[in-house]
Amino acid sequence: MANAIRALAMDAVQKAKSGHPGMPMGMADVATVLFTRFLKFDPKRPDWPDRDRFVLSAGHGSMLLYALLHLTGYEDMTLEEIKNFRQLGSRTAGHPEYGAAGGIETTTGPLGQGFGNAVGMALAERLLNARFDDLVDHRTFVLASDGDLMEGISHEAAALAGHLRLNKLTVLFDDNEISIDGALSLADSVDQLKRFESYGWFVQRVDGHAPEAIEQALQAAVESDRPSLIACRTTIGFGAPKLAGTAKSHGSPLGEEEIAATRKQLGWPYEPFEIPDHILQAWRNVGAAGAESSGAWDKRFAELDEQTRREFQRRLDGEMPTSLGGAIAELKERVLAEKPKDATRKSSEMVLGALTRAIPEMVGGSADLTGSNNTKVEGQGVVSRDDFSGSYIHYGVREHAMAAAMNGMALHKGVVPYGGTFLVFSDYCRPAMRLSALMGLRVVYVMTHDSIGLGEDGPTHQPVEHLASLRAMPRLRVYRPCDTIETAECWELALRSGDRPSVLALTRQKLPTLRAEGVAENYCAFGAYILVPAERHRQVTLLASGSEVEIAVRARELLAEDGISAAVVSVPCWDLFLDQPAHYRDEVLGPSALRVAIEAASGFGWERWTTLDGVFVGMQGFGASAPYEDLYEHFQITPEAVVTKVKNWL
């Protein structure tokens, strides 16, 4: 059965003239034991909620996963798909892509990200188990390479998993001592078992080509009260007479001559892509056996009361409760009456207070900045190794792991994750944020201290290029609200966007309530709108986001004193503005008006709205350490500076 995996892997890579045959051939024995004796799954129901998750963190070895899916009977992983490996439009991309086929639990390839996803999946399982008992009771298995473990994210994710004692997480480490450059010893001499043991993991080493030993190790892992690492000593390219155990089998086809010799050495006398009936049937029997477990789960589900069934299904489907709209509207009415002057990070905390009551599946957290990000609200219990009934996670200073774990939680389904850090540290989250966008996951990144307005911490902590960089990422919505009303609206939009991630860029400094109307409608849904219209024929359009909208409003007043008519446009989300029809964009921007953009960040990209003939008032370099009022004066991001630039242009 393991040789069937090896044969499909080397044949598909050879036909594509591209790919990584070595890892699938080396880990075939381990994968066979896992799938035939431990993994709980049903190929006829790839999305069965209580299935075990199998994450191929070593995504370059994608043919291992594709072979397993085909052999066990996943209907959309046909032999034709295997033959079309790495070809345009196939389900068998060079690295596994979430949504391409049943059984692909996450998009992997950037090493370490799948590992982090798996920690999030295991965490989501524990959170839902605490709420729904044995309706959610499954394990997460990860196949990881030395590259996954060398990446820094693995340190963060493994430390978090050990701290929380995620005992239903098992990592199978392909310990083959080979990297792309050659022997692993060229660059690494870490004792991974000692390393993971220090995190609080249960660790074992096993011969990765000895099925009974692999089974014993997996059984011990399943019985452990800690997350488990099994270092599987394997031979990369196992079975290839000349290339086994060498870096040459890692990322290149073996070649026709070597494949023929491998077939002979493995005792596999079949043509390319041919799986003999008795071996295929043995694999299909493994897949068919899963129907018993999924059927037993159906029975448990049917025995629940109707309210519990509906609530569980709603969470799995990612549907927002009907109470969301009412909670936002009620909050907006209160804010319009009280007109608070708050930092938008504080506004976000106020909004979260309403949202977490209305949406019980929201699970928050912060990378050791809870008091700064304002991501924890009254009534949220803290998640710990002894109690998973809470909804707030202290991730520690682990932005990489937090972002990847949130992806895993979103992939698991049943929870809506949000997590906070400073906007400048979105750099640490960026690889996972990119995968959030690529997979279309509802993950909310709460990024506070969003400009030079954070003040005294200085240029190392003052984001300048980050808004432009994040706005450039496809399918990631970047929201920068100007007051509490907009913050509430942006949160609502982020939660209703079930097919993409969102960034909320929030201030440290206090901002006045600028909106005076619009409880019934979500103005931020337009991406940009006229906050304050011109008093007469518009000469100038002042475009701004976040904390700089207040500057635009004051600049408009000063311009009016000099007889210059200007309108203020708040631009909380570029992407949503782009989605509007051209006539709406023209109405908002003012086709014949001078367009001035104001943002305490890099001006890169604003010319899309101002045109090259427009004006930008913002940052031209990095920030400095000083009180934020002094910084705005120093960098000339003030109402007076705006007026001067407008007059000079006119």
CA–CA gap between residue 433 and residue 445 (Å, rounded): 9
DSSP state of 581: -
CA–CA gap between residue 431 and residue 642 (Å, rounded): 36
Residues in the chain: 650
**Cβ distance 488 to 526 under 8 Å?**
no
How many C-beta neighbours within 10 Å does residue 378 have? Answer: 9
CA–CA gap between residue 597 and residue 534 (Å, rounded): 16
- Check if 212 is active-site: no
Q: Which of 125, 349, 361, 399 is catalytic?
A: 399
Helices 152-163 and 113-132, packing angle to 10 deg: 20
Is residue 639 classed as helix, strand or coil in its secondary structure?
helix
φ, ψ for residue 573, nearest 5 deg: -150, 110
Q: Which of 277, 262, 358 is nearest to 22 (CA)?
A: 262
How many C-beta neighbours within 10 Å does residue 592 have? Answer: 10
State how beta strands 444-448 and 416-422 pair. parallel
**Cβ distance 236 to 248 under 8 Å?**
no
Q: Which residues pair with 343 in a beta bridge?
A: 510
Is residue 148 classed as helix, strand or coil in its secondary structure?
helix
Residue 137 burial by Cβ neighbours in a 10 Å radius (0-12, 13-18, 19+): middle
Q: Which residues contact 334 (CB under 8 A, 6 or more apart)?
A: none
Q: Which of 43, 57, 120 is nearest to 403 (CA)?
A: 120
Burial 59-77 (b: 16+ CB within 10 A, else e): bbbbbbbbbbbbbbbbeeb
- Please report, for residues 213, 412, 445, 633, the alpha-carbon distance to residue 399 in angstroms, rounded to integers and kept in the order given: 37, 20, 11, 32
- Please report, for residues 97, 396, 409, 444, the alpha-carbon distance to residue 119 in angstroms, rounded to integers and kept in the order given: 19, 15, 8, 18
Two tokens, residue 491: 């949160």
DSSP state of 189: -
First vs last Cα of the chain: how many Å apart? 77
DSSP state of 530: E
Q: Which of 21, 19, 95 is nearest to 266 (CA)?
A: 21
Region of residue 64 (phi > 0: left; psi between -120 and 50: alpha; otherwise: beta)? alpha
**Cβ distance 575 to 609 under 8 Å?**
no
Q: What angle do CA 123, 125, 127 make, to 5 degrees?
A: 70
Q: Which of 316, 311, 322, 308 is nearest to 358 (CA)?
A: 322
Catalytic residue set: 399
